[in-house]
Structure 1
Amino acid sequence: MASYLDDQSQLQIDFDIPSSHAGQNPTSYNSGQAATDSNNGDGSYVPRPKRIACAVCRRRKLKCDGRKPSCGTCSRLGHECTYDEARKKSGPKRGYVKQLEARLAQVETLLKTQEPSTTAAPNQEQTFSISMPNEPSGAGLHVMGSSLHNSINSMSPVEGQQVTELPTSFKPEGVDATSSFGWDMISLGLEEPFPAREVIEELNQIYFEKIHAFMPVIHRPRYMATMNFAPTSRPPACLQYIVWAHAAAVSEKYSNLHALFYQRARKYAELDQMKGLGETILSLAHCQTWLLIGCYEYKMMFFPRAWLSAGSASRLAVMLGLHRLDGEGLEVKQCLPPARDWTETEERRRVFWMTFCVDRYASIGTGWPTCIDERDILTNLPASEEAFTNGKMEQTARLSDVLTGEDLSTLSPFASVAFVSCLLGRNLTHLHRPEPQDNDNDLNGVFWQRHRSHDNILLHFALSMPSHLRLPAGMGDANVLFCNLAVHTSTICLHQAAIFKAEKNRMPEQIILESKRRCIVAADQISSIMKMVSSMDMSKMNPFISFCVYVAARVFVQYLKFRPDDTAARSSLQFVFVVLDALKNQNPLTESFLCQLEVDIEGTPFQDIRLPSAGQQTRRSFFAGHTYGEVIHIFP
């Protein structure tokens, strides 16, 4: 079945049926022909007895010679050979043939209604034509393709849904591969063909080379292996399309396709939700789909949709029990069957922790509460990428243990990202979820005790970080890079909250000065890290890196408002603008942060660092009121 799509391109369609056979039953014709052939031979013709393949050959789809007690294949390979004497009923399901006949009748009716208009108005042929590579051109084939497509649309899973198709001349190359759109695709409920096989392979390769580097939630060998299975055994169409959307977004060759792939991914994800009672979405693949959709939407600045998609991924992860894979608790409803092996369990862990991270990023950018409660997590942190890819079992620590300073040496790069995302989320609840006994005007109150506890965790992690998570040793790993940036970002967020509370309650000046010092040191570290990696491929970096750079820029802006003549700070802020300009080419989310920074420096003595242009003025009006980076919870 691996070459199924390739074999479809060799199909030849013949609509000229000889009149002598018109209306004749094909089955009776074939059986009559077989009888004639048998009578032409020897009168002693004896039909060959039917053989039943053994269970092993049947399962592995091998040719079986039917020998008993052990066939030739099993004898050669040393397998236990068994025969199932009770033959299963073969053939299509009941009603399937009638359904096909009804579809064909509908297609024939559409053909009859289209033929006169085709001959009368040949200049309208382009509207109905579907590109058929390696096939002879002909009006009959074009109309057949259009009518078949229209008949499929009329039987859409969602009643009354209308699907707008682009004219053939405007469809991107490689997408309208009609030769791969067979009955197997129709049975999946697809309304358009997949891209050409070469395009699919190239997009998958791009995804695992670039996107997987910072979002390792799909097991590459198993995913690529399923792409060679029958269409019904491959990953859901929604997951395939969002994988291609991410890949196309960072590819110059396919950059014009990512929006189309994203729209189709959302369409099929929503259609799956509406099937039956919604039980179709209870799968790890659909959780991966909504996770990738949410990340794509944040990257493309579809903020309202991104918030809802991230919430869908979080709720689905909890519904699937991904937050309690390694813990014992009260028995709750299990929606997923037990994992087949450690690799599948690890993939579930990774999906959960990436969902956890995106949940934190979304809340940090808006100030709204998180969906996943840290106290409910009973899933260990993810293992190393090498162990995950090779299926080699690796013991990992729990988040609660790492927060107390234990097992830091066992943290993988992806686990470190989950850990610092947890710290970012704690900063949010620290400021936005006050308790009655906080007493933020008292240095010994609960608020300041919590502040010192969070600060101690950050300092301990920064000092005790294992060597494989440090820079520049781990500079080639996107997750190591983001971990180091996020640690300093979390430090800035924590101490900005401290400055706000200290100034509000007129606390000792030394507290304010110490927090300001910590902020400027952390911002300088972020600037130094970005200088270190400025020559790297930006498309392989986590899109939320731009948020870390933006936080550092806000610190420089605040510092320069009091010391506008500090050349080092001016130079750092100017470099940050250069970094954000470079990031926005691969990461449109950066545009939002750039707009906010331009507003922040407007009217200041150092606004000449970034002189406004016509394009910047247009961008400001576009982002007015829709800026992701305008975070009052971080910079009160």
Structure 2
Amino acid sequence: MSTANRDSESPQNSPAPKTARGVMNCRPCQIRKIKCDRALPACGVCHLYQRSCFYEGVPKKRGPKKESLSALIRRIDGLEELLKSDKTPTPPGTDIITSDFPEPQVFGSGISEPCGSASSDISPFSNFRGNNFEASSDVSTTINADGLVDVYFTKFHRNPYDILDEFTTRQRLKANQLPRSALYAICAVATGFSERPGKGPSSHVSGETYAAWAQRDIDPCEVSLDSCQALLLLVAAFAAMGDGKRAYIILSQAVGMAMTLELYSQPSDGIQDGTAKRVFWTCYIMNTFVSTWLERPSLMDDSLIKADIQSSRQSSHNGWGTSNDFVTIPNNDFRRFSVSPKEPVDEIQKLVWMAQILSEANRYLLLSDTGSQAAYCQRHKILHDLDVWASSIGTSTDVPTESQGGPGMNIPLICRLVVHLIHCLIHRPILPLRLNEPSCVKMIQHWAVEATETAFRHATAILELVGQARETTNMPLPPFVGFCIFTAATVLNYGIHYAEEQIPEALAVNVAPFAGSPIPASFFASSRDLYSRSLDELSILSDTFTSARLYLLRLDELKSEHVALLNGKVTGYVPTFSNRFFQRYSPALLRRVQGFQTEDSCRIGSPIRLRVRAAARTSSSAPK
């Protein structure tokens, strides 16, 4: 065939019409993976080689799932409405503001200024007279302060953090005396609890934007109780977002401000002094929770809080609690540890005591070696402190119901969850990778038996408490509950593989039976169902908090890495007894669990949620 003939018969010079094109390459070109000009009735290649040219199927839709883009779509809708009205979502009282705040320690200049009243909506271009919003300014609906403040005090206040006084805050907001930084921080927290973020009270402004505005208006050199409260609110907001790096940095600033203000020495008399003392207690509780989550040292000395709880640290006359009593709390007279004996019983003081025990457990995990005799004694000291706490608190042991509603109703639940969390945290590092994993020391083998049984019982108790609370009250659960569920799921993940091994008697080889008998084979049978239940609980929380959605992703990654360990695909693994549980896995997984790598938040998954709910439906429809 001549060159001229080949050129005339090439796909580019094909006489076939090219006006009507298909939606995708023809099937022969797809199979051969060659370029197709998609001409009809036959493409140039098929016309050249005299093949049958046909099209079949519909091209797959590419890109992210629609569910993953729902929040972004809502934001875009809101921004389009703002553009139509020639308004932009800049913070009220400013004309120009940079939209990027890469580092949380970067603050704007100037002192926190009073914010406008919630009774009149705030315009993003409002003018100021004497640091207040001008009353005659043309207002818009950029911020619905009334709605977000109501959401905050309804769903977050004393749940469990007691940061603001409701009456004082509402009065200052009404009188235009509430600092802008505090209002923006309230909005950042409340936006997460809004039923429809982007179209609810937040008026198209995200929690991240509110947090950036609050950071901009806080002067770290201007030490005040208002700034300390705003920083604590930002810590809570970033923790709910799953951003551990920002939460820990801002927490360090809040702790430093609390120490500078000497809140630890404030007497509990008078409204202002009582508020300062509660802010200090909340700062201590938040410091303990965040430090435990991030596996970082505590930023506050426990001796500062021991003076407030010293009278309740006395040994209980009832002695040690029973080893099987993990859910109920023994009844006994309440031992007061408030400053004034005439002051009414306050649930947050019980939580302060429990946070102090959690702080000791976190220090033990950071500084101790699991296999030493000193670590064994330290674990028993922590367990003894838990028994003293359980025998010294109030007489009520039931989860609060809706009839007992109001601020603080979830604090008893949080206290009991922390009890089970401490047991899981201090016993989880001793869990063997396999039931028949050898141990060189008989005593350590006995500790493995004890830790395995205790950790699984308390992981089950966490899920039972969360399920019971969800059935008996409509009060939303705080983000810290997601960390408790995640910790329980990491323990239950081991039980799934223990049950598949079916070698429970290996735990009792050359070991005196623990608690009268070795762990039976049926002990781990329910681990798979409980693990699915924990995923379901996190899925429910993920509708409100980004951190819960991140925990779902982390559990999926941890399960994959655990299977790789069991299959021997990870080289260099040696059975060690380290209190750093996540040292068994990749360092990248630990950083993502702690929220120091948040670049994958955009792919938080509706597929996982669909799998969880499908598994839940399957288990519920299974014959019993």
What range is the shorter-chain TM-score in?
0.5 to 0.7
Preserved CA contact (<8 Å) 1:413 1:480:
yes
Deviation at 1:468, TM superposition (A): 3.4
Which residue of structure 1 lines up, in the alignment, with residue 578 of structure 2? none
Preserved CA contact (<8 Å) 1:213 1:479:
yes
Which residue of structure 2 lines up, in the alignment, with residue 568 of structure 1? 526
Which residue of structure 2 lines up, in the alignment, with residue 460 of structure 1? 388
1:532 aligns with 2:446: no
Q: Cα distance 1:245–1:556, how it changes in 2: closer, same or farther (>3 A)?
A: same
CA deviation string 1:556-592 (max 9, x = no partner): 1112221137442222111111111111111211122
1:520 aligns with 2:463: no
Q: May I ask how many residue pairs the two structures share in their alignment? A: 414
Match of residue 165, structure 2, among 209, 219, 230: 219
In the TM superposition, what are the counterparts of 1:168-179 in structure 2 within 5 Å? Answer: 177-178=122-123
Deviation at 1:433, TM superposition (A): 2.4
Higher RCO (CA 8 Å, separation ≥ 6 residues)? 2
Classify the secondary structure of the residue corresponding to 2:167.
Answer: helix
Preserved CA contact (<8 Å) 1:471 1:481:
yes
Which residue of structure 2 lines up, in the alignment, with residue 400 of structure 1? 310
1:590 aligns with 2:522: no
Which residue of structure 1 lines up, in the alignment, with residue 423 of structure 2? 491
Which residue of structure 2 lines up, in the alignment, with residue 355 of structure 1? 283
Which residue of structure 2 lines up, in the alignment, with residue 329 of structure 1? none
Deviation at 1:418, TM superposition (A): 2.0
In the TM superposition, what are the counterparts of 1:375-524 in structure 2 within 5 Å? Answer: 375-377=303-305, 398-405=308-315, 408-410=334-336, 412-434=346-368, 443=373, 446-468=374-396, 470-471=398-399, 477-497=409-429, 506-508=441-443, 509-524=445-460
Preserved CA contact (<8 Å) 2:401 2:473:
no
Q: Cα distance 1:525–1:503, how it changes in 2: closer, same or farther (>3 A)?
A: farther
1:252 aligns with 2:175: no
Which residue of structure 1 lines up, in the alignment, with residue 252 of structure 2? 311
Q: Cα distance 1:188–1:558, how it changes in 2: closer, same or farther (>3 A)?
A: same
Mapped partners of 1:306, 1:183: distance in 2: 32
Preserved CA contact (<8 Å) 1:181 1:193:
yes
* Paired letter, 1:217: I
1:297 aligns with 2:231: no
Q: Cα distance 1:303–1:522, how it changes in 2: closer, same or farther (>3 A)?
A: same
Deviation at 1:298, TM superposition (A): 1.2
Match of residue 155, structure 2, among 197, 203, 210: 210
Classify the secondary structure of the residue corresponding to 2:478.
Answer: coil
* Paired letter, 1:423: I
* Paired letter, 1:531: G
* Paired letter, 2:189: H
Deviation at 1:318, TM superposition (A): 1.1
Which residue of structure 2 lines up, in the alignment, with residue 578 of structure 1? 536
1:374 aligns with 2:302: yes
Deviation at 1:149, TM superposition (A): 6.7
In the TM superposition, what are the counterparts of 1:48-197 in structure 2 within 5 Å? Answer: 129=86, 150=95, 177-178=122-123, 181-184=126-129, 186=131
Mapped partners of 2:192, 2:237: distance in 1: 9
Deviates more, 1:506-515 or 1:459-468: 459-468
Mapped partners of 1:198, 1:263: distance in 2: 12
Preserved CA contact (<8 Å) 2:334 2:395:
no
TM-score, normalising length from structure 2?
Answer: 0.58
Q: Cα distance 1:248–1:403, how it changes in 2: closer, same or farther (>3 A)?
A: same
Mapped partners of 2:185, 2:554: distance in 1: 30
* Paired letter, 1:483: C
CA deviation string 1:470-515 (max 9, x = no partner): 4357985111111111110111112234558x98772423322122
Deviation at 1:128, TM superposition (A): 9.6
Mapped partners of 2:462, 2:212: distance in 1: 36
Match of residue 226, structure 2, among 285, 290, 311: 285
Deviation at 1:377, TM superposition (A): 3.3
CA deviation string 1:288-343 (max 9, x = no partner): 100000110111122211111111111111111112324xxxxxxxxxxxx9x522
Q: Cα distance 1:226–1:520, how it changes in 2: closer, same or farther (>3 A)?
A: same
Preserved CA contact (<8 Å) 1:593 1:627:
no
* Paired letter, 1:599: E
* Paired letter, 2:179: P
Deviation at 1:346, TM superposition (A): 1.8
CA deviation string 1:176-211 (max 9, x = no partner): 74399343375689xx99875993222211111101
* Paired letter, 2:388: H
* Paired letter, 1:523: A
Which residue of structure 2 lines up, in the alignment, with residue 199 of structure 1? 144
After superposition, the CA RMSD in angstroms is 4.2
Preserved CA contact (<8 Å) 2:460 2:488:
yes
CA deviation string 1:45-83 (max 9, x = no partner): xxxxxxxxxxxxxxxxxxxxxxxxxxxxxxxxxxxxxxx
CA deviation string 1:227-266 (max 9, x = no partner): 222x3xx121100111122222211355453855653554
In the TM superposition, what are the counterparts of 1:611-622 in structure 2 within 5 Å? Answer: none
Deviation at 1:345, TM superposition (A): 1.7
Preserved CA contact (<8 Å) 1:467 1:473:
no
Mapped partners of 1:207, 1:316: distance in 2: 23
Mapped partners of 2:156, 2:495: distance in 1: 35
Preserved CA contact (<8 Å) 2:188 2:234:
no
Which residue of structure 2 lines up, in the alignment, with residue 57 of structure 1? none
Deviation at 1:287, TM superposition (A): 0.6
1:627 aligns with 2:592: yes
Preserved CA contact (<8 Å) 2:108 2:215:
no
Mapped partners of 2:378, 2:238: distance in 1: 34
Q: Cα distance 1:503–1:250, how it changes in 2: closer, same or farther (>3 A)?
A: farther
Where structure 1 has 5 or more consecutive residues not aligned to the other structure, the ranges are 1-124, 132-147, 154-158, 163-173, 327-338, 380-397, 607-622, 632-636
Deviation at 1:430, TM superposition (A): 1.3
Which residue of structure 1 lines up, in the alignment, with residue 491 of structure 2? 555
Mapped partners of 2:138, 2:447: distance in 1: 63
Mapped partners of 2:490, 2:236: distance in 1: 24
Q: Percent identity between the aligned chains?
A: 17
TM-score, normalising length from structure 1?
Answer: 0.57
Classify the secondary structure of the residue corresponding to 1:369.
Answer: coil
In the TM superposition, what are the counterparts of 1:234-253 in structure 2 within 5 Å? Answer: 234-253=177-196
Preserved CA contact (<8 Å) 2:182 2:230:
yes
Mapped partners of 1:414, 1:160: distance in 2: 32
Mapped partners of 1:556, 1:628: distance in 2: 17
Preserved CA contact (<8 Å) 1:210 1:539:
yes
Preserved CA contact (<8 Å) 2:188 2:208:
yes
* Paired letter, 1:533: A
Mapped partners of 1:292, 1:352: distance in 2: 13
Mapped partners of 2:179, 2:230: distance in 1: 9
Q: Cα distance 1:149–1:210, how it changes in 2: closer, same or farther (>3 A)?
A: closer
Mapped partners of 1:249, 1:422: distance in 2: 28
Q: Cα distance 1:463–1:267, how it changes in 2: closer, same or farther (>3 A)?
A: same
